[in-house]
């Protein structure tokens, strides 16, 4: 094992994966191929880093904790070519990182306290990413992959599924980490859809429709979206104004946003 011991930092939400069988399953799920550009977010002590590096030969990692930089570099000697970006992942421009060399494959055991912002940040650069394999709190993965009508289907489900194919792969128990978190974890795969398949002309309007629709779950669409459109607009888009957000499929939200975006400027949401 090439990874090293460093005390986890509570303020950074660090829980280091230590169970070899789950590490192997993650590496198998990623299944790197020659020429792939792998980027790991938050390598920590290198539990996933070094098995990936051994298998693939090169890897770029983004690590915010300066105390982990030197140990990671030292442990990588003789294993493969490790490039370390010492930065907050939310400040990393994935499109720039991908450059002209082809899309990135993102991997990471994401810090649970900022997992949603990281997901949305990756989405902003979806054109530069071919797929993502993340370990997150199981509850978050359940929400990401939820179907309409499910209790946990909401804004996160719709926003991610509009832009990506989301697949929950397997659960990881607390005992697989050091220190054990208080919650179960799960590994999820996200594959960005081609732009033509997404069909969202105005991402900001789409996001607003989704956010308002789920803002007060018990409200009907007519009431929840009163700042964005009228009941007549909802009907004209082929939806029922008395439906609730959790009853709508992702394609319904896309259709509504596209309809609102096509209205004459004076009738569009401000």
For the annotated binding site for S-adenosyl-L-methionine, the residues are 15, 17, 42, 63, 88, 109
Binding residues: 15, 17, 42, 63, 88, 109
**What would you measure as the largest C-alpha separation in the chain, in angstroms?**
66
Cβ atoms of 13 and 25 closer than 8 Å: no
Q: Which residues contact 235 (CB under 8 A, 6 or more apart)?
A: 241
| Euclidean distance between CA atoms 2 and 72, whole angstroms | 9
Query: Among candidates 76, 80, 90, which has minimal Cα distance to 55?
Result: 80
Given its phi and psi angles, is residue 57 left (phi above 0), alpha (psi -120 to 50 degrees) or beta? left
């Amino acid at each position: 094992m090439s990874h090293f011991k460093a005390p986890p930092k509570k303020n950074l939400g660090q829980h280091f994966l230590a169970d070899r069988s789950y590490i192997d399953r993650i590496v198998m799920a990623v299944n790197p191929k020659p020429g792939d550009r792998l980027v790991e977010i938050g390598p920590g002590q290198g539990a996933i880093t070094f098995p990936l590096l051994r298998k693939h030969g090169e890897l770029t990692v983004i690590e915010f904790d300066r105390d982990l930089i030197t140990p990671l570099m030292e442990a990588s000697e003789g294993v493969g070519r490790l490039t370390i970006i010492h930065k907050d992942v939310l400040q990393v421009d994935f499109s720039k990182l991908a450059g002209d060399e082809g899309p990135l494959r993102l991997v990471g055991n994401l810090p649970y306290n900022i997992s949603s912002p990281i997901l949305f940040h990756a989405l902003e650069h979806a054109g530069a990413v071919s797929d993502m394999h993340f370990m997150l709190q199981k509850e978050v993965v359940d929400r990401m992959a939820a179907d309409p009508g499910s209790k946990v289907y909401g804004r996160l489900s719709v926003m991610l599924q509009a832009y990506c194919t989301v697949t929950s792969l397997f659960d990881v128990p607390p005992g697989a980490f050091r220190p054990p978190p208080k919650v179960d974890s799960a590994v999820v795969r996200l594959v960005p859809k081609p732009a033509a398949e997404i069909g969202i002309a105005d991402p900001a309007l789409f996001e607003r429709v989704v956010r308002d629709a789920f803002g007060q779950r018990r409200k009907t669409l007519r009431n929840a979206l009163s700042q964005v459109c009228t009941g007549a607009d909802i009907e004209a888009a082929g939806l029922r104004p008395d439906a609730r957000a959790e009853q709508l499929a992702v394609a319904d939200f896309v259709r509504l946003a596209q309809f609102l975006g096509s209205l004459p400027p004076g009738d569009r949401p401000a």
